[in-house]
Amino acid sequence: MSLQSLQLIHSLALGFAVSGLFVAFYRALTEKPASFRLLQIGGFGAVLAVPFLAFAAPAIIIRNTIRGRRIENRRLEFVFLATLLAGIWSLMSGRVVSMVLLSFGL
C-alpha cells in the first residue's frame, strides 16, 4: 500500500472521528441530536452553525441514512449514495483537520 493511500485512509478515519466527536459533544450540551435544521435558526446562530455542520455533517448524514433505511425502508441505491457522500465529505474534512494539526506541529 502506498503512502498516499495510507494518508487518505487516515484522513477518512480522522474525518469520521471528528464528525462523531462534534455530534456527540452537541448532543451532550443540548440533549438533542444535531441536524441540518440548525441553518434554519436564522441570524447569527445560522452563521455559527455553518462551521459546525462542515465538520459534523458526515455523522449526521450516516445517522439519517440508517434511520431512513430502518424506518422508511429507503431504497439501497439512496443508502449507497448517501454513504458515498458522507465518505467523501469525511475525507475532505479529515484532510483539513490533518493540515491544521500539521501546521501546529502535531
* Residue 74 confidence (pLDDT): 84
Query: How far is Cα 25 from Cα 4, in angstroms, rounded to an integer?
Result: 31
* Residue 85 confidence (pLDDT): 95
CB distance 57 to 89 below 8 Å: yes
Q: pLDDT digits over 30-39, tens only?
A: 999 999 998 8
If you average pLDDT over every residue of the chain, what do you get? 92
Residues of the chain under the 70 pLDDT cut? none
Amino acid identity at 68? G
Terminal C-alpha separation, the chain:
24
CB distance 91 to 12 below 8 Å: yes
Q: What is the pTM of this model?
A: 0.87
Among the listed residues 44, 2, 20, the one whose alpha carbon sits nearest the alpha carbon of residue 97: 20
* Residue 58 confidence (pLDDT): 95
Residue 12 is placed in which grid cell? 477518512
* Residue 105 confidence (pLDDT): 86
